[in-house]
Structure 1
Amino acid sequence: MIVVMMGVTGCGKSTVGAALASRLGCPFLDADDFHPPENVAKMASGTPLTDEDRWPWLDRLATELRAIDAGGGSAVLACSALKAAYRARIAAGSAVRFVHLIGDQATIAARLAVRKHRYMPASLLASQFATLEAPDDALDIDVTLPLEAQVDAICAALACPPATKATHA
């Protein structure tokens, strides 16, 4: 099973994703770790990425997920995946389930005010909400739920298998 935790910056993709991966006994991947240095520098300067900036990054993610899926492995990926086209690109050739972590802009902004991301400034939150194309085929999870409740809800909805040995391509 490949699960992609999606949503705007600060919604909890990494936190919930890591907890879910731990529960499932599979690797956790953070899409932020796959960005080329040019994208990181652009975001660090407060400039939103363009689609042209994102395509090679999304292709890297899709390649990674296809390799895991082809090997019969499981993984949880944290990735904003804000647009339908991005989700389609990531999922190409793999059996992927999307989990959309949902919170209002004020709630997420409050989280970002107390968080220091290595390159994603809080000033980009509004552009992420503007870009977001909410999926109609994802599992929606309320970010105001406690972490354990979010993971429980995801596992119940996706009929998660019991924890297995971690596999990674």
Structure 2
Amino acid sequence: MRVENSTSTYPVRVVIVMGVSGSGKTTIGSLLAQALNNAPFIDADSLHPPHNVQKMAHGIALTDGDRWPWLMRVRSQLDIEATNLLKTQDSHTQPLYVVCGCSALKRSYRELLARNNAEHSTGQTHDTMFVYIKVDREELVRRLAQRKDHFFDPALLDTQLSTLEQPDTAREAAVVVDGMQPVEQVVREACELI
């Protein structure tokens, strides 16, 4: 699927695929990036500092003090990717996207991620839209039990669910997609909504 149109008024649209652990952010995000004209994909989990990874691996929930520096790093990487994308594109005949998989659990986190970083860009290079992958708890538990080679301790799921502030689509640039559907359908629906 190639996306030919965008509702963005900026040269680049950043799409952040969000949700709790096990919702499919990395799988859906990487497939969405392919569908959005082979956009760059950033897995925010790969940007966690080692002490965050160690805490989560040992079943210790992250605090805001742990999350804010990580979120700043994610935002900075989004700004860099958007700026680099603009520099490498000769013509803007197709919409330009950067896709990121990031929990973005609280509205304040999403507000930070949606800001452009003036340090890396000369003016507004992009806008940001969130795609919330909504999955019920029982399915999340099932998925986390099957997942191997990931640092997140499934015992932290309830902490993430209690921290989650679901996006208010009337007040935030966000859409909600039913993550209980097959992955291909989730990606297709996300493409249609953004």
- The aligned residue for residue 100 of structure 1 is 132
Identity of matched residues, % = 43
Instruction: Give, in whole Å, the separation in 2 of the partners of 1:117 and 1:27.
Output: 23
Select the residue among 75, 93, 109 that pairs with 1:62. 75
Say if 2:27 is the partner of 1:15: yes
Amino acid at match of 1:113: A
Q: Do 2:17 and 2:25's aligned partners in 1 also have CA atoms closer than 8 Å?
A: yes
How far apart are 1:107 and its partner, in Å?
Answer: 1.3
Instruction: Give, in whole Å, the separation in 1 of the partners of 2:176 and 2:139.
Output: 16
Q: Secondary structure at the match of 1:111?
A: helix
Provide structure 2 residue ranges, at least 5 long, that are not aligned to the other structure.
1-12, 87-95, 117-125
Instruction: Give, in whole Å, the separation in 1 of the partners of 2:97 and 2:149.
Output: 27
Q: TM-score, normalised by structure 2?
A: 0.78
How far apart are 1:69 and its partner, in Å?
Answer: 2.7
Q: Do 1:69 and 1:95's aligned partners in 2 also have CA atoms closer than 8 Å?
A: no
Select the residue among 62, 65, 79 that pairs with 2:102. 79
Q: Residues 31-89 of structure 1, C-alpha deviation per residue, up to 9 Å, x if partnerless?
A: 01101111111111100000001111100111111222334352110000000111111
- The aligned residue for residue 156 of structure 1 is 192
Q: Residues 129-167 of structure 1, C-alpha deviation per residue, up to 9 Å, x if partnerless?
A: 000000113210111111111111111111xxxxxxxxx
Count of aligned residue pairs for this structure pair:
158
Select the residue among 157, 163, 187 that pairs with 1:125. 157
Say if 2:168 is the partner of 1:136: yes
Q: TM-score, normalised by structure 1?
A: 0.89
Q: Please, which moves more after superposition, 13-22 or 90-99? A: 90-99
The alignment yields a C-alpha RMSD, in angstroms, of 1.2
Instruction: Give, in whole Å, the separation in 2 of the partners of 1:134 and 1:42.
Output: 24
Amino acid at match of 1:64: Q
Q: Which structure's CA Rg is the greater one? A: 2
Provide structure 1 residue ranges, at least 5 long, that are not aligned to the other structure.
159-169
- The aligned residue for residue 35 of structure 1 is 48
Instruction: Give, in whole Å, the separation in 1 of the partners of 2:59 and 2:189.
Output: 34
Q: Do 2:132 and 2:176's aligned partners in 1 also have CA atoms closer than 8 Å?
A: yes
